[in-house]
Chains A and B, each alone.
Chain A
Amino acid sequence: MSLLSDTNVPPVADLRSHRPDTIPLGVKLGALWLCLMLCVALLGPSLMPYSFTAIDLKARLALPFASLHWLGTDELGRDVLSRLIVSIRISLLVSLIATLISAIFGTALGFFAAHFRGWVEQAVLILADFQASIPFLIFALAVLAFFGNSLSLFIMLMGLFGWERYARIARGLAISANAQGYASAVRQLGAEPSRVYLRHILPNTASTLIVSMTLVFPEIILLESGLSFLGLGVQPPMTSLGNMVGYGREYLTRAPWILLAPASVIVLTALSVSMLGDWLRDRLDPTLK
């Protein structure tokens, strides 16, 4: 019966320690790592010891820590650390912009659906079903096959990832908010719909939407690196984390450091965001436990 008494305890976060007021160590470390990544991304060029495209054929496949290159060099003698810094910049840039596009687009469609109801709502729901019914990687590959690749198109494409989740959540939240007193009160006072939605409903639903963003963001990081790994994402000479892993793969036996550095950055970043996201969800999201 001890199992039964367990279930009476209010659900707590999986990663949370026993005292709910302290921030768990994992979340702290995650936040620290993300701050570090953000600093690297922002300060990028001034931190790079070398140019990320500078070729030094005399120092090809140099070992990490053994020479002037802290993380070693790749098959063309390019400094792995400098390439890593540029990659972090590009990957974070792509993922952040894409997360924002997806959140704004999805939330807007969700609000439209909630406001107009009727066929607009049905159209949004059918589109959301359509998006959810194809694995996004396949969808993205098809679009890339048809349109070719450029960085801006690639970012837009990543921005389509996950919009349907925001749309569904925003629609549900807006419908229930519309039924509550504050929305109709503001409306009675003569506010425009845009004011009702942006100034009143959005702030009241923001915590749920922000939590969704922290859940979508690591998935976008992994998606971007996956596509770049396949050689279909960010194109050379520009580099990204997945790109580095993809090209480093050919030197797996002779120079594993080329791919291990970016691979660990991908994993640690995705891990940090999702730990932070889980913790935020338990804190902020009233609709989830």
Chain B
Amino acid sequence: MIRFIVSRLARAVMTIFLVMTFSFIVLRLSGDPALIIMSPDAPPEAIAAFRKSWGLDDPIWLQYFHYFAAVLEGEMGRSMRDGRPALQIVGERIPTTLLLTLPALLLKVSIGIPSGVYAALHRNSRIDRLVMSFAVFGFTVPSFVLALVLVLVFSVWLGWLPTSGADSWRHAILPVVTLGLGGAAVLARFTRSAMLEILGQPYIRTASAKGLAWSAVVRAHALPNAAIPTITVLGFMVGSLLAGAVVVESVFAWPGVGRLLVVAVSNRDLAVVQVILLLVALTMVAANFMVDLAYGIFDPRIKQAAPGGAK
């Protein structure tokens, strides 16, 4: 088990290292930031001063080294637009985003998992078909289309809810529902197929054959085993709490991290983009690591298995 944790931890660190290298390389490849930020006809002295203050004249390996040292110290550069620390700008937006993504996660779990389990247990029933068509639509209706249809129905036609903004809790309803429904569909489909796969296993038949009540079979044998693939999807959802609402925040003009990212990308505010990239990678990697730990708890075989996951 300890070997397993260490190998997963090493992989997590490796991934973070790769993300940082990636962001450093593209940052440097993307052209001269001095010319991007300052207008091309700015006086040469001003451009030189800018280059010097941003450390753009150093050799590339030194910049790479400085970059790592700076990131480890939490110094992630300043927004090239208003000069405030990028980390601070992004940090201010995180609670706003969580106001949407946490309730949405709750909605996903409370709709997705029970309906997936129910559909699997009542296979080919009318409810199963309903759940499955809901799941298929969740996969194929992009969030911006769902969001706009909801706005059209509930804001424009019925006039019940505001179209966009973030002034009151009523503004949060449509974005949370948009995020929640899409995720619930994904989760329902995964839960259902995981349950079906487990229910087809011989040990379920054995458990039933030895006279165990069906509810006990489901509770003691089917659910814990089906939890493993479901946890993977859930981990991905937890990992995208920070930046899983890019499109939805843009549709509803919700001032969160996702909207900040879109604006920063169109302005090419590289420091802000970079901070968001690193934070997202960090949450993603942390969530994946927790998923791996959960595997270790739910699946005793992993405790003995060879690390690395390679066959």
Contacts and interface: CB of A to CB of B under 8 A. Distances in A.
A266 B270 contact: no
Interface stretch (A46-54, A71-79, A88-96, A269-277): A269-277
Q: Is the interface of A mostly helix, strand, loop or mixed?
A: helix
B144 A226 contact: yes
Interface in B234-266: 239-240, 243-244, 246-247, 250-251, 261-262, 264-266
A267 interface: yes
Contacts of B247: 137, 226, 229-230
A274 B284 contact: no
Given A135-B240, A245-B144, A252 B156 contact: yes
Given A1-B208, A7-B200, A252-B151, A137 B246 contact: yes
A127 B17 CA distance: 12
A43 interface: no
A230 B136 contact: no
Interface string A167-205: 000001001000000000000000000000000000000
Nearest to A147: B30
A129 B12 CA distance: 9
A253 B156 CA distance: 6
B15 A133 contact: yes
Nearest to A229: B144
B270 A145 contact: yes
B115 to A, nearest CB: 14
A232 B14 contact: no
Contact of B145 (A6, A147, A172, A245): A245
Contact of A145 (B124, B214, B265): B265
A287 to B, nearest CB: 13
A271 B134 CA distance: 12
B26 A146 contact: yes
A141 B284 contact: no
A4 B208 contact: yes
B121 A3 contact: yes
A65 interface: no
Interface stretch (B92-100, B104-112, B275-283): B275-283
Contacts of B42: none
Contact of B244 (A126, A133, A135): A135
A142 B142 contact: no
A37 interface: no
Contacts of A133: 15, 19, 281, 284-285, 288
B148 A274 contact: no
Contacts of A135: 239-240, 243-244, 280, 284
Given A4-B205, A134-B19, A266-B145, A142 B199 contact: no
B72 interface: no
A218 B139 CA distance: 9
A108 interface: no
A100 B244 CA distance: 27
Contacts of B144: 225-226, 229, 242, 245-246
Given A11-B200, A245-B145, A274 B214 contact: no
Contacts of A31: none
A66 interface: no
Contact of B311 (A11, A172, A231, A289): A172
B60 interface: no
Interface string A8-20: 1001001100000
Interface string A99-139: 00000000000000000000001000111011001110111
A259 B251 CA distance: 13
B27 interface: yes
Given A130-B19, A133-B284, A145 B148 contact: no
Interface of A: 1, 3-4, 6-8, 11, 14-15, 121, 125-127, 129-130, 133-135, 137-139, 141-148, 172, 175, 218, 222, 225-226, 229-232, 242, 245-246, 249, 252-253, 256, 259, 263, 266-267, 270-271, 274-275, 289
16 contacts: A6-B123, A127-B18, A129-B15, A133-B285, A135-B240, A137-B243, A138-B276, A142-B277, A145-B265, A145-B269, A148-B268, A229-B142, A230-B250, A231-B266, A232-B266, A274-B136
